[in-house]
Amino acid sequence: EDQVTQSPEALRLQEGESSSLNCSYTVSGLRGLFWYRQDPGKGPEFLFTLYSAGEEKEKERLKATLTKKESFLHITAPKPEDSATYLCAVNSGNTPLVFGKGTRLSVIA
Amino acid sequence: DTAVSQTPKYLVTQMGNDKSIKCEQNLGHDTMYWYKQDSKKFLKIMFSYNNKELIINETVPNRFSPKSPDKAHLNLHINSLELGDSAVYFCASSHQGTGYGYTFGSGTRLTVV
């Protein structure tokens, strides 16, 4: 059974204070690892897909990396508008995405 | 145009009632899903539905039944609602196959009183 564990559960940063979110996974044959952002009252919004160890993707202040056991979402010089819950999910075979419980990020001005 | 739309956005109902949530996608995707997000924000798959195959999560009570009139629509019907059914329900869609991201709707907040 695919499993995804995210840490920390909650993270509070000062504006400009860079940090990383962790996603550890156990899956039989990774087909893709996904990062989503979810704002209150909205559905998850797709950020990145990573397919193989060593892969990296960037979008504005966010950078996602992947190893064989975990993924990191690095946030560089965050702004208050980066405050959201960040969700990690994995896909193996034809099974639906399995999500972690998310990291709730708060960026304080 | 909204890619994945759900109605209603909010649903308040009494225990024992039967209710439906509707979902439509205009992305041309061939697979649709229902996820349940509990009070701790944990997203859990309930169903995935391709034109030809319905995959049921074993932990979902049989009071929940998905119905798909065509590949652009996937509705969720819930019988005999219970207090524990209160949650946010998300519809999503994707292309079938490996490694495709899902597009989510904005959710339906169901409150059973």
pLDDT in tens, A25-51: 999 888 899 999 999 999 999 999 999
pLDDT at B96: 73
Report d(CA B43, CA B47) in Å as an integer. 12
Q: Is the peptide bond before A80 cis (omega within 30 degrees of 0)?
A: no
Tokens 């990690």 correspond to what residue?
Answer: A88
- What is the rounded average pLDDT for all residues in chain A? 95
pLDDT at A36: 97
Partner residue facing A96 (CB), from B33, B40, B98 = B33
pLDDT at B97: 63
Partner residue facing B98 (CB), from A31, A98, A99 = A31
How much is the average pLDDT of A92-109?
Answer: 91
CB proximity A40 to B under 8 Å: no
With 0-12 CB in 10 A as exposed, 13-18 as middle and 19+ as buried, what is B40?
A: exposed
Neighbours of A69 (CB within 10 A): 11
Q: End-to-end CA distance of chain B, in Å?
A: 34
Residue A32 with chain B: CB contacts under 8 Å: 98-101
Report d(CA B44, CA B36) in Å as an integer. 5
Residue B55 with chain A: CB contacts under 8 Å: 96
Lookup: tokens for A5? 């564990």
A-interface mutation test, from B48, B53, B59, B98, most A Cβ less than 10 A away: B98
Neighbours of B78 (CB within 10 A): 21
pLDDT at A11: 98
Query: B102: helix, coil or strand?
Result: coil
Chain mean position to CA A84: 11
Confidence of residue A93 (pLDDT cuts 50, 70, 90): confident
Query: B56: helix, coil or strand?
Result: strand
What is the residue type of B2? T
Partner residue facing B106 (CB), from A42, A91, A104 = A42
Show the low-confidence residues of chain B (pLDDT under 50).
none
Residue B92 with chain A: CB contacts under 8 Å: 43
pLDDT at B99: 61
pLDDT at B98: 52
